[in-house]
Structure 1
Amino acid sequence: MAEPVRKGPGKVQGRNESQQSDRRVSMFPDRRDPSRFDRRVPGLKGKREAAEKRQAEREEPGRGREAASPGQIPKPGWRDILKRTWAEQSKDNLSLVAAGVAFYAMLALFPAIAALISIYGLLADPAQLQSQIGEISGVLPADARSIIQSQLSKVVSGAGGALSLGAAVGLLLALWSASKGMKGLIQALNISYGEEESRGFLKLNAISLLLTVSGLVFFILALTAVVAMPALLDNLGLPDAVMWTVSIARWPLLALAGMLALAVLYRYAPDRDEPRWRWVSWGSAGATMAWIAASLLFSLYVSQFGNYNETYGTLGAVVILLTWLFLTAYVVLLGAELNAEMERQTRKDTTKGKPTSMGRRGAHAADTLGSKP
């Protein structure tokens, strides 16, 4: 049994009184926070931060515990990040989560195509979009590409330029169905970032619908700017050297557009305080490059070694498309895991706004410090 604690002459503080005292202290956590004096004593904040930095370097030297951006993290810190990322993707069952996202993406794919054609048809001939998508779909396996092209042809043949009441209702239904896939991706990103969904039904659906519409519009603009650029410049009569440079440069530009789209997704989709752009750019860049490599390798495997049609018969093309969607979802979620572990490598506040201490940042990745593997 714990010994009573003496509290002044002749006074004894028992266990119950001690527990009540602890509870009273816990009700006012600011009294234990040294940062509460920063506004009262001039120059104290800088001295305190410098002391914390020196202590961090003594405890874990050269690991980037005080890094203000991912570029300031040294090599030992990056080894910690990569090891924790691999461990976390296994702990979070990322392959199983990606399979669920791929299933919902498969269900949302055709409504998304219908919505894409409807939005594009308000501005131009939908047949142009079909040809533009055909130019960049070479990264997909042939069987998966044929499914998308077939659905595009069906939707384009029935599309009209005028937005009637029936077409408007059809567009809204298509967008709502497509947003279901986005909602599944949002839930998966919460898992990667270690968050629990707390937003209400209306707010969550509004965010998923907004991200879906924004993604479709961004895809149209990026595709038109990158794919149609050579045709537009050809009418200007530019030299062949300039045209060749433009035709080559459009592919890196399309990759940059993909990085930007992923950065927006990583920043706004999870249920947490938004991270600063620098803390989502590295994961989006890595995920984009990994997705391009995975798509090309999978396309090569299917064309050279795959026997999906022999195994699955008429469902072979569907299985190939579903597998490609799984690879896409896995890479996107892995990029989110990388971003989260980068944030957990530093004590600095990685969220937007005024810097705050750990535990008050509204984000699990920013409020916790990753251990050395």
Structure 2
Amino acid sequence: MKWSEASKGIMVEAVRSAGRNDITGRAAQLAYYFFLSLFPAMILVAASLGILAGEGPKLRDELLGGLGTVLPETSFALVRDSFTQIVKSSNNGGLFTFGALAALWSATAGVSAVQDALNSVYEVTEGRPYWKRSLIAILLTLSFLVLALAAGAATLLGAYLPHLLASTKLSAAASLTWHAAEWVVILFLLSMIFAVTYYLGPDVEQPKWRWITPGAGVGILTWIGASLAFRIYLHHFDSYTKTYGSIGAVMILLLWLYVSGLALLFGAEINSAAENQSAKQGNPDAKEKGEKVPG
């Protein structure tokens, strides 16, 4: 079978399976949990800034600047204003502890919803013990936190590099090089988030660890493309804010989170369809739909 024919078959099967498994409904559920996780995470980050650097306006602006490249403008304004208010009252350890616990709880609940959604994609039922499932959810949550911090560190380093190299003749070239490398690093970390989620999330035996999968590639490109298209559309045709006022920003944020969940789940559908096709062609290490282990 030619590569183009195989790719077309995988895409067709993934689209059909996505409709059968109702990933649009699952994505709506994920958007709800992502939204619940967002503000406790903001409290955690804001409290960290308050403890480490007072209100840290410069550091805060650099962190938010990276977020502003993907969030729709009106939603970014909502997050920025909320984050700024939280930072102003974050100079105490109690808020840090509350933020850490709330962020861990809500994010873990969100990851559990991701596990259920991925099981639906692979058309299997959850069979892992509660303790194992919960442990995996916590590990995934902590992995996301580490990767998010790494992405934030890359963004901050890119912002401060020109100041560090201002006294050298290589400052402009080094800064330009780093800004290009910064996006490579962020894309790599994003692919890691997809890879870890697809590997540990569903209750199926995965053949082997892979840094990048067809589904991760499709999911990342879909997410980036949808985010950019969303920003462009809202920049020119921002009817939500005009119609709904301030609540429109919340609606747009939820819609963006919904699109993000949809990209994640459709990428999983691509991986599942590719493995299903491989199994039907006789690959002993591949699984068909509904199977937890090969064969």
Q: Give the TM-score taking structure 2 as reference length.
A: 0.86
Separation of aligned partners in 2, 1:317 and 1:262 = 27
- Quote the residue 1:260 is aligned against: 192
Contact 2:118 2:201 in 1 (8 A): yes
Question: Which aligned pairs between 1:121-136 and structure 2 lie closer than 5 A?
Answer: 127=56, 130-136=60-66
Cα deviation for residue 335 of structure 1 reads 0.4
TM superposition shift of 1:323: 0.5
3-state DSSP of counterpart to 1:364? coil
**Structure 1 residue 337 displacement after superposition:** 0.5
SS state at 2:213 partner: helix
Aligned residue type for 1:364: E
RMSD: 2.7
Q: Contact 1:230/1:246 (CA < 8 Å) preserved in 2?
A: no
1:297 and 2:232 correspond: no
State how 1:142-157 maps to structure 2 within 5 Å.
142-157=73-88
Matches within 5 A, 1:85-164: 85-118=14-47, 127=56, 130-136=60-66, 137-160=68-91, 163=93
Matched, 1:178 2:107: yes
Q: Relative contact order (C-alpha < 8 Å, sep 6+): which is higher?
A: 2
Which amino acid in structure 2 is aligned with residue 195 of structure 1?
V
**1:114 Cα deviation after fit:** 2.1
Residue 172 of structure 1, CA deviation:
1.8
- State how far apart, in whole Å, the 1-side matches of 2:48 and 2:131 are: 24
Q: Identity of counterpart residues, as a percentage?
A: 30
Could you list the runs of 4 or more consecutive aligned residues of structure 1 that deviate by over 4 angstroms after TM superposition? 118-126
The total of aligned residue pairs comes to 287
Q: Matches of 2:103 and 2:69 in 1, distance apart?
A: 26
TM-aligned CA deviation for residue 244 of structure 1: 1.5
Report the Cα distance in structure 1 between the residues aligned to 2:240 and 2:121, rounded to whole angstroms: 31
CA distance in 2 between counterparts of 1:336 and 1:179 reads: 20
Residue identity opposite 2:277 in structure 1? Q
3-state SS of 2:8 partner: helix
Q: Distance in 2 between matches of 1:338 and 1:265?
A: 14
- Do the aligned partners of residues 205 and 132 (structure 1) sit closer, same or farther apart at CA in structure 2, a change above 3 Å counting? farther
For 1:344, what is the secondary structure of its paired residue?
helix
Query: For residues 342 and 324 of structure 1, do their structure 2 counterparts lie closer, same or farther at Cα, with a shift above 3 Å needed?
Result: same
Unaligned runs of 5+ in 2: none
Aligned pair partner of 1:342 in 271, 274, 278 = 274
Distance, in Å, in 2 between the alignment partners of 1:344 and 1:280 is 18
Q: CA deviation at 1:348?
A: 2.5
The answer (yes or no) to whether the contact 2:192–2:211 under 8 Å persists in 1 is no
Indicate the SS of the match to 1:267: helix
2:215 is equivalent to residue 283 of structure 1: yes
Structure 2 match to 1:200: 129
CA offset at residue 339 of structure 1?
0.8
SS in 1 for 2:90: coil
Write the mapping of 1:1-373 to structure 2, written as runs, cut at 5 A.
62=1, 74-118=3-47, 127=56, 130-136=60-66, 137-160=68-91, 163=93, 167-232=96-161, 234-236=163-165, 237=168, 238-278=170-210, 281-346=213-278, 347-350=282-285, 364=291, 367=294
- For residues 235 and 193 of structure 1, the distance between their equivalents in structure 2, rounded to whole angstroms, comes to 49
Change over 3 Å in CA distance of 1:120–1:157 after alignment to 2? closer
Q: Distance in 2 between matches of 1:79 and 1:254?
A: 29
Residues 287 and 331 in structure 1, CA contact (< 8 A), matched pair in contact too? yes
- Give the match's secondary structure for 1:310: helix
Partner amino acid for 1:108? S
Mark the structure with the bigger radius of gyration.
1
Could you say if the C-alpha distance between residues 195 and 302 of structure 1 is closer, same or farther in structure 2, counting changes exceeding 3 Å? same
Equivalent position SS for 2:109: helix
More helix by share: 2
Q: Kindly provide the amino acid, as one letter, of the partner of residue 61 in structure 2.
A: S
Instruction: Please say which of residues 188-197 and 257-266 is displaced more in the overlay.
Output: 188-197
What is the TM-score of this pair, normalised by structure 1?
Answer: 0.69
From the superposition, tell whether residues 256 and 264 of structure 1 become closer, same or farther in structure 2 (CA, over 3 Å). Answer: same
Matching residue's letter, 2:75: A
Q: Answer yes or no: is the 8 Å Cα contact 1:340–1:365 preserved in 2.
A: no
- Distance in 2 of aligned mates of 1:173 and 1:312: 30
Cα shift readout 1:85-141 (whole Å, capped 9, x = no counterpart): 111111111111111111121122111222344456676667355223322222211
Q: Is the 8 A contact 2:154 2:185 kept in 1?
A: no
8 Å Cα contact 2:205-2:293 kept in structure 1: no
Q: Map Cα deviations across residues 276-305 of structure 1 (whole Å, 9 max, x no partner).
A: 234852211221121111001011111212
Structure 2 letter corresponding to 1:345: Q
Give the Å deviation of 1:350: 4.4
